[in-house]
Structure 1
Amino acid sequence: MSTSGTITISQRLKQFSHFLIGDPQQFSLENRIFNAICAISLFIIAINVPYNYVTGLTVTSLIFALLVPVFSFIYFLSRYRKKVNISIALAVIMINVSFAINYFYSGGIQGASLLSFTLAFFLGMLISPRNQYYWWLALNLFTVLGLIIWEYYYPASVDTVYKTRKDIFADMTPTYIISVGVIFVGTVYLKNAYNKEKQRGEEKTRSLEIMNTEKSKLFSLISHDLRNPLAAIQSYLQLMREIELDPENKTQIETELLYVVNSTQEMLYNILVWSKTQMDGLNVNLTPVDVASAIHPILKINKMAVSKKRISLDTNIDASIKVMADINMLQLIVRNLLGNAAKFTPSGGTIFIKTSRAGNKCLIEVRDSGMGIDLSRQPDIFSLKVRSTFGTDNEKGIGLGLFLCKEYTTAQQGQIWFENNREGGSSFYLELPLAN
């Protein structure tokens, strides 16, 4: 019960924080820091209006009262108009001008003005862009040193507002406490924000390192696996030049060679698709797609692989189903699922492909009677962690097909998963939204 309450309070505080300083998804870190400082400054200024009036600093109270609408406008400009650079410049200039005027009515160098200038400089440096640092340093030094020099030569220009020691303590103590409190909160907030950004950067770096390692392994496997079909083609051509083959052997070799070339072509197509995705990103064109019309050409293409291994291909395709999909992505997914099924199904086995409705979804099932998926490989089956294995007829791939299936399914707002069948083999399921 208490945990639920804590979560609710935490969520409410987070929502209030986003309302006050802006959502991290929409506002930059600098913008959010400035919004937070504006909100804190407004609170402090509002409190100082009655406090300074009660302690006898009437002019100071009036100056703070005038700052309330000014800072409200600056906060509005930054929080709701996102004009953070203009807001920062206005805030720093207004603070320095206001404190400079207040200097003469709050005891001068004996009062709390220097502490206020120090706090204002800290906040200005905290929120301002790097190219403005020296401008605000120069403004602060010029203003403060100018006021001190002026008071030194013209002491009568500064009002004596502290009639007793009690008045001095009443002004200096809260100013010091507020200054330290604001500096503490600002520093903690900034360090937390910095640590979060640093952690995000480190996570991105680790992800990039992992991806680069996986890509290096992938390209190493590609270069290795392309040698076999090229060597087979070379051997066949050399054999034809040196020996006169009888028609039966010639037909058998040509059939096997064509199968090898088709498999290699499929692998190269996956590589090209993946490379294009890496360079251009995923471009998805979702349109109503007739599932039967999309799948039938894939079945024709895979007939050679199936017939060569004497595998039975059974289908149950509902001709009335249409899905919201990218037809090229859908065909690539089905082609890879059928290719994998053919690869890992032994001679005389069966592959079954079925489409059906499941609520407002279309379910495409590709079931085989092959080897099934080893438990050690299951967690990474859809990832780029290459763990390619040989098929039942020594077919070799690079493990890229199922990774593309997962990427393209997600891009089409669908789901893909697999199950090992009790009777042997595995079933892959592709679920996509039905077209209205």
Structure 2
Amino acid sequence: MCLLAMVVSVVQAPFNYFTGLKMTGIIFGLLLLALAGLYYLSRFKNRSALSIAITVVLVNLLFAWIYFVSSGISGASLMTFTLTFFLVMIVAPRGQYVVWLIFNLLLVAAIILIEYYRPELVPNMYADRESKIVDLSATYLTSVLVIFFGTIYLKNAYNREKQQREEKTRVLEVLNTEKNKLFSIISHDLRSPMASIQSYLELMKDIQLPPEQKLQLEAELLLMVNNTQDMLYNMLLWSKSQLQGLTVHLAPVNVYKAAMPVLDIHTTFITNKRLHLTTDIDKNLTAMADLNMLQLIIRNLVGNAIKFTAPGGQITLEAHQENQQCLIMIRDTGTGIDPKRVPEIFSLKARSTFGTGNEKGIGLGLYLCSEYTAAQHGRIWFQNNPDKGCSFFLSFPLA
């Protein structure tokens, strides 16, 4: 607004000077210098409130002076008071609106009353009728243009604030959804496996079981504990990412060396479920990724493949270079993905389902995979296999 007023002063100073209102032109020149100083005070010295107050008082007093040297009420001064008040209302703090309104009304009333009772103080400064018409027309044109650009500024500011409010509302809705998801996990999905573990332990304590049956129960208990540990790990990672944001450390990662420790963790599950695991990983393949994130993604995808593949099924992990990208594929011969669940499979809306061995999840695994893949500038997608099961694909830039 200060810059806009400076533009008006740049136009009005020479215009008034060369149309016969030399003193008015000089005053606009002084106003231009004052506005430049106040702009510096506001923009570079961070004294906006003081700058606004000085500007309002100074501009109004200078326009009052102009009023007496540019034919008073017969000239264009009253229009400039209206224009000044419009600019003041744009930049002034809300609590000062009434103050500046009263100031403007009292000042204008005072100079009009002075002219009424002392008309000799307001001489006619126009050389002829033509110069008066030109001055009034130019002032009107300037006022209309300033009001036009000022209104655009106000509308843009309003729309920006409205957009920011809507964005904050969307963020709050997402946070609320995530909060509800977390409470659902704690109250139900996590409580159920803990209750099952407790039942297993009580059964083994109270009843003398045959060795074979005891070994079977211990294997199932171990499977459930490991499954619950995965659930907790995913939940803690998700909660941490929501509270602290994702921290990504991209570096060259050998995919074979990153994947093999993950597969070793799942060896017990694969053996207990009598699954067949096949790997085909290029030992020289190096991706630009975050090692911990990449291992978490592979662990979740392999864990899902184990969960939804029936005993005796096949799981395949492949990784090779394709079109300057590192392509990782996890294929299984499991139950596949219901087409109705496809649109929400990578979102928080995804509901957890039981695996072929009654394994329970919390619906966070694929969401975390999607978030962590995107954070590493990668891509994740899937497709149901023509025969049986489904395949998940990961693509990362080569190191």
- Structure 2 length-normalised TM: 0.87
Measure, in 2, the Cα distance between the counterparts of 1:137 and 1:239.
83
Q: Does 1:365 align with 2:333?
A: no
The one-letter code sitting in structure 2 at the alignment partner of 1:403 is Y
Match of 2:276 among 312, 326, 340: 312
**Residue segments in structure 1 that go unaligned for 5+ positions in a row:** 1-33
**Matched residue SS, 2:339:** coil
Match of 1:345 among 295, 309, 316: 309
* Alignment partner, residue 29 of structure 1: none
What is the total number of aligned residue pairs between the two structures? Answer: 398
Written as runs of structure 1 = structure 2, the 5 A alignment for 1:222-241 is 222-241=186-205
**For each residue in 1:132-180, what CA deviation from the matched residue of structure 2 results, as whole angstroms up to 9, or x when unmatched?**
6566557645654554455556544433213555544433344234324
**For each residue in 1:51-77, what CA deviation from the matched residue of structure 2 results, as whole angstroms up to 9, or x when unmatched?**
434532222233334555665676688
CA contact (8 A) 2:20 2:127 kept: no
Written as runs of structure 1 = structure 2, the 5 A alignment for 1:49-60 is 49-60=13-24
Q: Does 1:255 align with 2:235?
A: no
* Alignment partner, residue 389 of structure 1: 353
CA contact (8 A) 2:197 2:224 kept: no
CA contact (8 A) 1:217 1:386 kept: no
Match of 1:119 among 63, 78, 83: 83
| Residues 135, 359 of structure 1: alpha-carbon distance in 2 compared, 3 angstrom cutoff | farther
CA contact (8 A) 1:222 1:398 kept: no
Measure, in 2, the Cα distance between the counterparts of 1:93 and 1:326.
60
Measure, in 1, the Cα distance between the counterparts of 2:122 and 2:98.
29
CA contact (8 A) 2:115 2:121 kept: yes
Match of 2:8 among 33, 44, 48: 44
* Alignment partner, residue 25 of structure 1: none
* Alignment partner, residue 431 of structure 1: 395
**For each residue in 1:219-250, what CA deviation from the matched residue of structure 2 results, as whole angstroms up to 9, or x when unmatched?**
22442122332222222222223321111100
* Alignment partner, residue 244 of structure 2: 280
Q: Does 1:300 align with 2:247?
A: no
Measure, in 1, the Cα distance between the counterparts of 2:332 and 2:37.
68
Q: Report the Cα offset of residue 280 of structure 1.
A: 1.3
Q: Give me the identity figure in percent.
A: 55
The one-letter code sitting in structure 2 at the alignment partner of 1:38 is L
Written as runs of structure 1 = structure 2, the 5 A alignment for 1:137-286 is 137=101, 140=104, 143-144=107-108, 147-148=111-112, 151=115, 154-162=118-126, 164-286=128-250
Q: Report the Cα offset of residue 206 of structure 1.
A: 3.8
Q: Does 1:289 align with 2:248?
A: no
CA contact (8 A) 2:231 2:361 kept: yes
RMSD value, Cα: 3.0
- Greater shift in the superposed pair: 294-303 or 216-225: 216-225
| Residues 360, 182 of structure 1: alpha-carbon distance in 2 compared, 3 angstrom cutoff | same
Measure, in 2, the Cα distance between the counterparts of 1:408 and 1:115.
61
Measure, in 2, the Cα distance between the counterparts of 1:347 and 1:318.
28
